[in-house]
Amino acid sequence: MDINTVIGGILGLSCVAYILIDGQILNILMDKSALVFVLGGTFASTMMTYPFRIFRKIPTGYRLMLFPPKFIPLDVEVARMCELAEVAHQRGIDALPEKLNPKDLEFLRSGVRMLMNEWTLEDIEKHLEQDMQSTIDRHAEVQRMFESMGTYAPIYGLLGTLIGVLGLLRFLGDPKGMGNAMAKAITTFYGIFFANFFALPVAGKLEMHTAHEMLIKRVITEGLIGIKQELNPATIRQKLDTIVAQGKRKKA
């Protein structure tokens, strides 16, 4: 489980709960119809925007937010590529398959097969780049969906508030009617709350996961290219260390 997500969620919810309780307005915000309006509208607009193959990945997005994939640490992947480069340098490319293990990514296994089949350097690089771009595009679809949800929710909140204000004007002489109308006007709270706790954080987390995965694959790609070019393992390590350093600067 992602501890940062859990701590951040608890901290954020605590802050919201504190101000609601301190302001003695917690009961006012508990309106089921307002919640249904915001959530239903947000999901409806999302369904209209994205095909079902993407929409059905909403649970997957929340799961990845709480339970992120266990990526191989960058330093471990660099060491792994240097190990394979050393094997290829001493024993030749033909010795690489026997050094692969179940923990290696399919991306690396695919690259080694290309080396074994004597693909050209240009074809290897092109194929691996296409694989990475395909992964980026696939992940970006889900990320954009959650960003859209983070946009739709506040808009539905404002729409609900407008409806509540119109109802308030209609029932100016009816205290009960005014109370019901005011209850509908708090949809803005639900819209902003949903966007900032259940939509935008997921999009941001997915973006970080994708960036880390791409950095790992970039290390693998450059390592395989170095092996294909028969570079010295020390030179390959320098290139990989540079890639990792640049990637960490971008994250910062």
How confident is the model at residue 251, as a pLDDT?
Answer: 56
How confident is the model at residue 178, as a pLDDT?
Answer: 63
Question: DSSP string of 128-180?
Answer: HHHHHHHHHHHHHHHHHHHHHHHHHHHHHHHHHHHHHHHHHHHTTT-HHHHHH
- Give me 159's structure tokens: 């729409």
CA–CA separation, 87 and 41 (whole Å): 58
How confident is the model at residue 168, as a pLDDT?
Answer: 67
CA–CA separation, 168 and 108 (whole Å): 63
Q: Which among 68, 40, 77 is positioned nearest to 139, based on CA atoms?
A: 68
CA–CA separation, 54 and 146 (whole Å): 10
> Cα separations (Å) of 127 from 115, 130, 194, 223?
12, 5, 40, 15
How confident is the model at residue 68, as a pLDDT?
Answer: 86
CA–CA separation, 252 and 234 (whole Å): 27
- Give me 69's structure tokens: 């994939």
| AA identity, residue 90 | Q
Q: Which among 139, 122, 129 is positioned nearest to 207, based on CA atoms?
A: 139
How confident is the model at residue 183, as a pLDDT?
Answer: 63
Successive 10-residue mean pLDDT values, the chain, 252 residues: 86 86 74 88 96 94 89 88 92 89 90 91 93 93 96 92 76 63 76 93 93 92 92 91 79 55
CA–CA separation, 50 and 52 (whole Å): 7
136-173 residues labelled b (16+ CB within 10 A) or e (exposed): eeebeebbebbbbbbebbbbbbebbbebbeebbeebee
Query: pTM here?
Result: 0.83
- Give me 74's structure tokens: 């960058």
